[in-house]
């Protein structure tokens, strides 16, 4: 959702009770709309501070935040209404972004020299460029998958993963876009379409700081108070640029007992913290969040919701977060799916009923008939590549 146009009255900091980690986490659970607090898919994406676009994470992340989630509504918002766009964005990751913010996230998409992508594709630059133009002609006829694009290129198609390298570069340049998906909620087989046919982009992109200043309020509203270093990590920019963006939106220093660092918050965020109830059921809520969930990937420093002792079981050496059991806003365990069985391993005691209730939230995507505890999970560091995608299946 776009930020409210309301202008809250200046907050009297002396009148606010001291902010604590529990206050911040309680508010974050509600801000992220966990537990189905969003009415629509689009609202869920706004309230999450945007959602990773890879399947099945995107479906599970929206499911955790939407009361009446259906995969068909998810695709409607992307393909039919085009309210959300799958696009390479922060740190080169694929995100679901509200269409009005796409020009801003494209400013944060890392793009290496053309020679780099040509080399990966096994081509020279002189061979690479004409192929990109031919691919534009192919997808202009109708959206096509990577395999269909390769077939249409015929003998001109590069060997191996060359076509994927070309599509990756064109996606980062916003010349093409990932459109409809084929194969259901777990599929990564996308059709590619011309970005120019998909949504209108301005001829002139905003500056980096202007782009960050447009994105930061939504990120901070979902994940604040937070530091400039957190924003820099999330956006893939320098701390200096992140600090400039936070200054531009009027973020101000704030202290939170239990969270270290130079924390910043907007007046709107402070207003929410000041008026939020001091205690409610959020402290006992249990949620099953997928790997790469926005709640888990918003900060460079994850200690507000993750104990250092549990990091080896939750984060791999690249910083990828696995499927997490969240209780009261903190990571209380990990989970996985093995057919119709939910595997789980807990760091603290959680009642069976609470786990079963959280598992039922997955019903629109997964049929589950049993829960099984894994007593001694293996640390993610040292596991096979992408082990974080299946942390409890060995």
Domains along the sequence of the chain with CATH: 15-107+219-394 (no CATH), 114-198 (1.10.10.10)
Report the alpha-carbon angle 76-339-391, nearest 5: 90
Model confidence at 4: pLDDT above 60: no
Model confidence at 18: pLDDT above 90: no
Contact status, residue 330 vs residue 305, Cβ threshold 8 Å = yes
How confident is residue 13, by pLDDT bands cut at 50, 70 and 90? Answer: very low
Instruction: State the pLDDT at residue 324.
Output: 98
Dist. CA 131–CA 114, nearest whole Å: 13
Digit-coded pLDDT (tens) for 170-196: 999 999 999 999 988 888 999 999 999
How confident is residue 1, by pLDDT bands cut at 50, 70 and 90? Answer: low
Contact status, residue 304 vs residue 296, Cβ threshold 8 Å = no
Unique residue bearing structure tokens 């402290």: 283
Measured in whole angstroms, how far is the alpha carbon of residue 377 from the centre of its chain? 25
Contact status, residue 21 vs residue 263, Cβ threshold 8 Å = no
Q: Stretch 85-97: mean pLDDT, rounded?
A: 94
The fraction of the chain above a pLDDT of 70, given in percent, is: 93
Residue 182 β-bridge partners: 189
Report the alpha-carbon angle 91-265-287, nearest 5: 65
Q: Stretch 64-77: mean pLDDT, rounded?
A: 91
Instruction: State the pLDDT at residue 141.
Output: 96
Taking the model in full, what pTM does it have?
Answer: 0.91
Measured in whole angstroms, how far is the alpha carbon of residue 151 from the centre of its chain? 32
Report the alpha-carbon angle 263-264-269, nearest 5: 125
Long-range pairs for 95-98: beta carbons < 8 A, 24 or more residues apart:
95/50, 95/51, 95/52, 95/53, 96/45, 96/50, 96/51, 96/52, 96/53, 96/58, 97/45, 97/50, 98/42, 98/45, 98/46, 98/50
Digit-coded pLDDT (tens) for 224-273: 999 999 999 999 999 999 999 999 999 999 999 999 999 999 999 998 88
Structure tokens at 185: 């909620």
Structure tokens at 347: 């760091």
Structure tokens at 181: 């998906």
Q: Which residues of 235-253 are buried (b: 16+ CB within 10 A; e: fewer)?
A: bebeeebbbbbbeebebbe
How confident is residue 299, by pLDDT bands cut at 50, 70 and 90? Answer: very high
Dist. CA 105–CA 214, nearest whole Å: 9
How confident is residue 394, by pLDDT bands cut at 50, 70 and 90? Answer: low
Instruction: State the pLDDT at residue 14.
Output: 43
Sequence-separated (6 or more) residues with CB below 8 Å from residue 126: none
Instruction: State the pLDDT at residue 3.
Output: 53
Dist. CA 268–CA 264, nearest whole Å: 12
Instruction: State the pLDDT at residue 282.
Output: 56
- Report the DSSP pairing between strands 341-346 and 370-373: parallel
Model confidence at 5: pLDDT above 80: no
Mean pLDDT of the chain: 91
Q: What is the DSSP letter of 341?
A: E
Contact status, residue 165 vs residue 135, Cβ threshold 8 Å = no
Dist. CA 203–CA 184, nearest whole Å: 35
Structure tokens at 236: 């893939």
The count of C-alpha atoms lying within 13 angstroms of the C-alpha of 288, restricted to the half-sphere facing its C-beta, is 24
Among 266, 288, 301, smallest CA distance to 332 is for 288
Q: What is the DSSP letter of 64?
A: T
Model confidence at 280: pLDDT above 90: no
Instruction: State the pLDDT at residue 2.
Output: 61
């Amino acid at each position: 959702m776009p930020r409210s146009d309301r202008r809250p009255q200046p907050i009297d900091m002396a009148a606010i009770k001291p902010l604590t980690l529990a206050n911040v986490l309680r508010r974050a659970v509600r801000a992220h709309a966990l537990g189905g607090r969003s009415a629509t898919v689009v609202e869920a994406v706004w309230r999450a501070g945007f959602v990773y676009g890879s399947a099945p994470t995107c479906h599970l992340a929206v499911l955790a935040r939407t009361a009446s989630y259906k995969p068909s509504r998810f695709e409607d918002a992307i393909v039919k209404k085009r309210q959300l766009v799958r696009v390479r964005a922060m740190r080169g990751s694929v995100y679901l972004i509200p269409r009005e913010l796409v020009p801003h996230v494209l400013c944060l998409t890392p793009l290496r020299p053309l020679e780099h992508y040509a080399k990966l594709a096994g081509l020279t630059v002189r061979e690479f460029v004409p192929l990109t133009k031919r691919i534009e002609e192919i997808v202009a006829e109708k959206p096509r998958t990577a395999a269909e694009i390769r077939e249409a290129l015929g003998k001109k198609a590069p060997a191996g993963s060359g076509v994927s390298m070309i599509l990756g570069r064109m996606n980062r340049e916003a010349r093409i876009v990932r459109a409809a998906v084929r194969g259901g909620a777990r599929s990564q087989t996308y059709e590619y379409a011309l970005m120019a046919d998909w949504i209108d982009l301005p001829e002139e992109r905003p500056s980096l700081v202007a782009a960050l200043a447009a994105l930061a309020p939504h990120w901070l509203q979902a994940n604040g108070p937070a530091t400039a270093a957190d924003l820099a990590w999330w956006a893939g920019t320098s701390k200096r640029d992140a600090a400039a963006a936070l200054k531009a939106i009027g973020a101000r220093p704030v202290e939170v007992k239990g969270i270290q660092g130079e924390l910043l918050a907007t007046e709107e965020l402070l207003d929410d913290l000041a008026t939020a109830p001091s205690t409610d059921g959020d402290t006992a809520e249990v949620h099953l969040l997928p790997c790469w969930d926005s709640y888990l990937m918003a900060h460079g420093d994850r200690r507000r919701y993750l104990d250092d002792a549990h990091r080896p079981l939750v984060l791999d050496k690249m910083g990828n977060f696995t499927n997490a059991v969240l209780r009261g806003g903190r990571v209380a365990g990990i989970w996985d799916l093995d057919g119709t069985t939910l595997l789980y391993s807990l760091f603290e005691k959680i009642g069976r009923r609470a786990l079963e209730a959280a598992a039922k939230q997955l019903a629109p995507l997964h049929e589950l008939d049993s829960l099984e505890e894994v007593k001694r999970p293996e640390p993610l560091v040292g596991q096979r590549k992408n082990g974080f995608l299946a942390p409890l299946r060995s």
